[in-house]
Amino acid sequence: MPAAKTAWYEAIGEATTTARSALRNINTFAKDQQNPDGVYALAEIDPPKPREPLGEPPVPTDLTVTLDTEGRANLRFKGTRHGGTVFTIQRRTTGTDGLTTPWSTITTIAERVFIDGGTPTGVASIAYRVRGERVGGTSAFSSPITLFLGSSGNQDEGQAIQSEAA
């Protein structure tokens, strides 16, 4: 890169830093005055906009679940952490008898990855769903994702194969 272009980039960087510092100083000064709008008018800049509440976070998306080598369910999803959002994870299971348990909350975390150390065993499937929560509200739960752990009917199939071979 030519020296003149490098010098130009450095000068722009220094000017940006100086301008940000000046704006911080004006804001600090204006907040301590009885007429802050008059300070902004003299400085020929717009006053800061009032902060608006964030509201509820968006529903988490793109859930994936896999089993690791230790038999734990690994849940991953996408969701915003903006505004201090945390995520509540619920789980339900379907037994080999076909009965499904109600949803139960298993944790609330700040990350978008969860390793279920209490992954149930001896069930046909496990389903997870996630919702975002922050001061401005709570999202709806995501669409559930199901991890199938086995299937029923294998014993009958094995018996059918054995009886055909006999």
What are the residues facing 123 on neighbouring strands? 95
User: Can you give the residue ranges of every domain in the chain?
Assistant: 3-43, 61-154
- pLDDT attached to residue 151: 56
- What separation in angstroms does the CA of 146 have from each of 25, 63, 65, 92, 112? 54, 10, 8, 9, 17
Query: Using CA atoms, how far apart are residues 165 and 122, in angstroms rounded to an integer?
Result: 30
User: What is the CATH architecture of 61-154?
Assistant: Sandwich (2.60)
- pLDDT attached to residue 165: 39
- pLDDT attached to residue 47: 87
- pLDDT attached to residue 4: 85
- pLDDT attached to residue 43: 87
Q: Taking the complete model, does pTM exceed 0.85, yes or no?
A: no
Residue ranges of the chain whose pLDDT lies below 70: 150-166
